Structure 1
Amino acid sequence: MQNLPQEIVTDILSRLPVKSLLRFRCVSKPWRSLIDSKDFVKLHLHQSTKTNSNRFLLFEDTLLDIFAVDLDSFERLDLGDPPLNDYGMANSCNGLVLAVSDRPVLWNPSTRKLKELPPTPLESPGDVKVYVNELYGFGYDSKSDDYKVVRVTEVGDGQDGEYLYSETKIYSLKSNSWKRVEDYPHILPSGKRVWGVYLNDALHTVVKHCHHCESIMAFDLGTAEHHELPRPDLTGENIGVASVEVMGGYLTVLVPRKMNRSEIWVMKEYGVKESWTKLLCFAPPMPEPYMNLTPLAYLKKGDEVLLNYDGRCLLAYSLRKRAVRIVDVPGLVPQFYDVAFFGTSFYAEVCVGSLVSLDSPSEDDGSEKQSIQSQEKANKDNNNRDDFLSVGFKLVL
């Protein structure tokens, strides 16, 4: 094992969970330099995404208690003491979670690092009394290799509620600053935690128009421009797109029908209308009208779809058997058949364990340079490399 080439050692380490990698940083300086390097962080994230590994569900209940379970075994995970008192989770991207309160924060549950975003005032007219509706979105801009938070603020007259204007600002993790961009041209969706869900460098949301017509809009995080995506061809009465989600790396929409039925459609090829495919039609045996149904993830071999049923319980729908079962999660009491539901509900977000840093480049440059120098020194001397590998594995054993 100690004679393995560095490329193979790197490949092996990239397949391990974050918890193990954080321990292995103590093996030696070269291992720490490798694990902390940006290239390795991206490789580890790529491996987890490709193999659907290191995934977990992050829960928040109405009391703002936060906990996590493994997405395959549903066993409880140790998050320590989540530093998110009075914060509400929004959405996640590449292992980072956006949480919102008076000031939004970014949090990596795997490394337990937290970053509070700088304040940015609302640029409202002087003495105008207003009410404010505010939603956030969070994603990754691959063109600039930057994580970005989008804040859309809707301002209205405080007396009669008349809409006045909206303001859109983007936060860049790389520059640790906000900037204002072109205002959002639509009314914000109601009853949502986030303004848009992330996929392919863009945030996506459903926009309601008059006469019960909807559009799927995408906001490009690189260009700050809006564009419309095609909807699936829907027929029948009372058909419309209720929400847009992302599942398994594909854009997914929820379409409610009559008789409590809900359809879930998947866009197999991004931006191509003809690629919309109906994944399932689900009809829970409940007497009350349509409730919120959110597709979360494919389970294990991809033959089951995990669904959040209105914050009441988790359901697993078998694509092969066309049957549904309630998923037992430690800490959650299913409320599936409770018509007069007044208990504790929950919000669930699918996350991936990652080493993605919350440091801006100015904060990270010094350690990065030191990592590169240490790695170069290690590569010059194969004997030294073999020595630290040998000692390292003895420590693990």
Structure 2
Amino acid sequence: MKPDFFKNLPPEIITEIFLRLPVVSIPISKCVCKRWLHLLESDAFVKSHFARSAPALVVLGDSGQLKVLELEGELDLHLHLDPLTHYDFPYHRGNIVSCVNGFPILRNCGDDALMENDWLSVCNPITREVIKLDLLDLSSEVASAYGFGASKITGRYKAVCIYFESYDDKLDCHVYTLGTGSWRRLEGIPYVHHFGPGAFVNGNLHWIATIGGEASWISCFDVETECFSFFKAPPYHAQGLPFIRGRSISALSGCLWFCKVASEHVNDGGCELTIWIMKEYGVDESWSLEYVIPHDLDDGLRYVVPIKVFENGDLLMLVTVRFSRRIFYYSNKNKTMQRKASNALACGLFTPTLVSLKTLGLGVENVISF
């Protein structure tokens, strides 16, 4: 089709045509002419495209290749392994810990993770851009929790890292606002142990936290006000479940999900995974037990992160078994788990976006094209 054909079409029809293109075709279309470039980079088009984008999987393999996989249909058992797009990613040791507004967030997962030379990075696999943020080296302090989110009011993107030194009852929280080029230390942080990557929901980052030796709390950090608050985790003790070893909190479909792995055999000798969803944000009583999943992975099952929930209740999950990560598909009807992929260094569900990292207050600072 010749570009001149578009001159006779109303602007809204032209926009509708481009919105129906595969996401990987849009960057190519920008190179055709200036008119297309201006249209496809306009704020109106980018917002409309993001609102209509279908969720996809982003996967980082052992070789450092970053792939975007399309999830087609409600029973996509084979994950549609032909990627929409794939690139060699510059930071092949990264582990995808979350996705915020279409931007996968990665963290160093090498042998020195949690210690020196640690970093977070924000990337856009569609525009092929990444920014790397080196975490602070605070000598003996350990980075126990971290996260990334966007303010609901200003739209500013911020990275958060929480450090603690147990023998000194010392807690440090540092915030990096994209575009500023430096970390800031927050004062007056409550001394509470935080664990793992933060789940971003409703403008807040969330971590599993221990208060008074009880690991049954959720720590909530408001990205806009930079203040902490706390609410209760699901009442798993009240349900008579055994001691919980693996706990993880994640964000999916705009809700908080809390997964717990039983550390001992239950019922007929198998093990059990329970998954709770907070139906009404911030309301303790709204925690709802949605899944009780038996499994035969014994004590090898460590952590579970839901990736996608299907309309029939089936669930796609990233499962850490001992020291490897695998993708499992849970059939809600048959109550069975099937392994769909192994040796997945990292993966996460995200909504493809055409927003450039250079427009997030960054300019060209630290943004790398790959």
TM bracket (short chain)? 0.7 to 0.9
Quick check: 1:323 aligned with 2:325?
no
Q: CA RMSD of the aligned region, Å?
A: 3.0
Q: 8 Å contact 1:90–1:136 — kept in the other structure?
A: no
SS in structure 2 of the partner of residue 79 of structure 1: strand
The corresponding residue for 2:223 is 221
CA distance in 1, matches of 2:254, 2:177: 23
| Cα separation, partners in 2 of 1:303 and 1:89, compared to 1, 3 Å | closer
Contact 1:292/1:309, CA 8 A, preserved across alignment: yes
**For 2:105 and 2:21, how far apart are their aligned partners in 1?**
25
Q: Which range moved further: 221-230 or 302-311?
A: 302-311
1:316 and 1:357 mapped to 2: Cα distance? 33
Percent sequence identity over aligned pairs = 25
Q: Which has the higher helix share?
A: 1
Tell me, yes or no, if the aligned pair for 1:315 and 1:326 is still in contact at 8 Å. yes
Residue 124 of structure 2: aligned partner: 108
Q: Distance in 2 between matches of 1:111 and 1:13?
A: 16
Residue of structure 1 equivalent to 2:75: none
Greater Rg, structure 1 or structure 2? 1
Number of aligned residue pairs: 329
Task: Supply the distance in 1 between the matched residues of 2:80 and 2:149 (Cα, whole angstroms).
Answer: 26
- 1:1-397 to 2 correspondences below 5 Å: 2=6, 3-48=8-53, 53-61=54-62, 66-72=66-72, 73-77=79-83, 78-101=85-108, 102=117, 103-117=119-133, 130-155=140-165, 162-182=167-187, 183=189, 185-189=191-195, 192=196, 194=197, 196-210=198-212, 212-234=214-236, 235-238=239-242, 242-257=247-262, 258-259=264-265, 260-288=271-299, 290-299=301-310, 301-310=311-320, 311-327=324-340, 329=341, 332=342, 346-359=345-358, 360-361=360-361, 363=363
CA gap 1:37/1:166 in 2 versus in 1, 3 angstroms: farther
Q: Which one has the bigger strand percentage?
A: 2
Q: Which 5+ residue runs of structure 2 have no aligned equivalent?
A: 73-78, 109-116, 266-270, 365-370
User: Is the contact made by 1:25 and 1:31 (CA closer than 8 Å) also made in structure 2?
Assistant: yes
Q: Secondary structure at the match of 1:204?
A: strand
1:387 aligns with: none
Secondary structure in 2 matching 1:296? strand
| CA 130–291 in structure 1, closer or farther in 2 if over 3 Å, else same | closer
Partner of 1:337: none
Provide the rounded CA distance (Å) in 2 between the counterparts of 1:230 and 1:203.
15
Q: What CA distance in whole angstroms lies between the structure 1 residues aligned with 2:13 and 2:229? A: 43
Per-residue CA deviation, residues 104-132 of structure 1 (Å, 9 max, x unaligned), is: 33221121112234x6756x6xxxx6343
CA deviations on 1:143-180 (whole Å, 9 max, x unpaired) are 11122111222246xxxxx2352222222224444322
Q: Equivalent residue for 2:112? A: none
User: How far does residue 308 in structure 1 lie from its aligned partner after superposition?
Assistant: 1.9
Query: Aligned equivalents of 2:332 and 2:305: distance in 1?
Result: 16
Structure-1-length-normalised TM-score: 0.72
Q: Evaluate the alpha carbon distance shift between residue 54 and residue 32 of structure 1 in structure 2; reply closer, same or farther with a 3 A threshold.
A: farther
TM-superposed CA distance for 1:91, in Å, is 2.5
TM-score (ref. length: structure 2): 0.77
One-letter code of the match for 1:36?
Answer: E
Distance 1:291 1:222 in 2: 33
Given that residues 59 and 349 in structure 1 are in contact (C-alpha distance below 8 angstroms), is that contact kept between their aligned partners in structure 2? no
| CA gap 1:212/1:316 in 2 versus in 1, 3 angstroms | same
Residue 143 of structure 2 contacts residue 161 of structure 2 at CA under 8 Å; is this kept in 1?
no
